[in-house]
Chain A
Amino acid sequence: GAVVSQHPSWVICKSGTSVKIECRSLDFQATTMFWYRQFPKQSLMLMATSNEGSKATYEQGVEKDKFLINHASLTLSTLTVTSAHPEDSSFYICSASSTRGGNQPQHFGDGTRLSIL
């Protein structure tokens, strides 16, 4: 149980392109989903918290107009990297928590490796 699917797993695109990443909880409902970014050999960095039906909450220093988050249902959240540039190249990972309660762990998707040329 507690499977989170993330798609695509790999994206290579030209500078200026917008890229959408999907995160789905397959066997549970997730009121809250989280988006992280991880650079090589560095720690996970939380970008934003996504709540179903409401606006995402962004961490300090993360541009909300650059990283658009939509959480339209209890099983789907999307992250769109708008007008991506080489410095946006990173490993993007989503996670989801069950609606059952605040103490539930986060379950991670497999991540999306984004390379901007």
Chain B
Amino acid sequence: QKEVEQNSGPLSVPEGAIASLNCTYSDRVSQSFFWYRQYSGKSPELIMSIYSNGDKEDGRFTAQLNKASQYVSLLIRDSQPSDSATYLCAVNPGKEYGNKLVFGAGTILRVKS
């Protein structure tokens, strides 16, 4: 059973602060990792992909991957009220799993102005 674990939250941060979202996964052979943002009533939107250990930055977002610890995180700097959403961590366990994504249940982020 391939699992992706996230704290459901809600995680509340003040506007301008750094929001830190965490995710752990069970399948050691997983190679690709994604963060999606889902606003209430909308479909998920890809915000970050990461494939190798270390940090990957894109604007206010930084994804961090540690394969040894089976841990992936997302940092949002200068958080804005518009960042309030559910953030889904997704892991691709590989071709043997049909390239399906295993999603975490999501972390609700609330940015208070």
| Count of chain A residues near B, Cβ 8 A | 21
Q: Give bound CA distance, A86 to B101, whole Å.
A: 28
In the complex, whether B32 has a CB less than 8 A from a CB of chain A is yes
**Interface 9-mer from B12-20, B56-64, B71-79, B87-95:** B87-95
Q: How far does the Cβ of A26 sit from chain B's closest Cβ, in whole Å?
A: 15
Q: Which of A34, A49, A57, A103 has the most CB of B within 10 A?
A: A103
Closest residue of chain B to A113, judged by CB? B41
Q: How far does the Cβ of A88 sit from chain B's closest Cβ, in whole Å?
A: 18
A residues 91-116 touching B (CB-CB < 8 Å): 91, 93, 97, 102-103, 105-111
In the complex, whether B45 has a CB less than 8 A from a CB of chain A is yes
- Cβ contact within 8 Å between A49 and B88: no
Interface residues of B (CB under 8 A from A): 31-32, 34, 36, 41-46, 49, 51, 88, 90, 92, 94-95, 98-101, 103, 105-106
Contacts beyond the supplied A103-B31, A106-B90, A108-B44: 15 A-B pairs with Cβ under 8 Å = A32-B98, A32-B99, A34-B100, A43-B105, A46-B100, A91-B43, A97-B99, A102-B99, A103-B51, A103-B92, A105-B34, A105-B46, A106-B34, A108-B45, A110-B43
Interface residues of A (CB under 8 A from B): 2, 6, 32, 34, 43-44, 46, 49, 57, 91, 93, 97, 102-103, 105-111
19 contacts between A and B (CB under 8 A): A2-B46, A43-B105, A44-B88, A46-B100, A46-B101, A57-B98, A102-B92, A102-B99, A105-B32, A105-B34, A106-B34, A106-B46, A107-B46, A108-B36, A108-B43, A108-B44, A109-B43, A110-B43, A111-B42
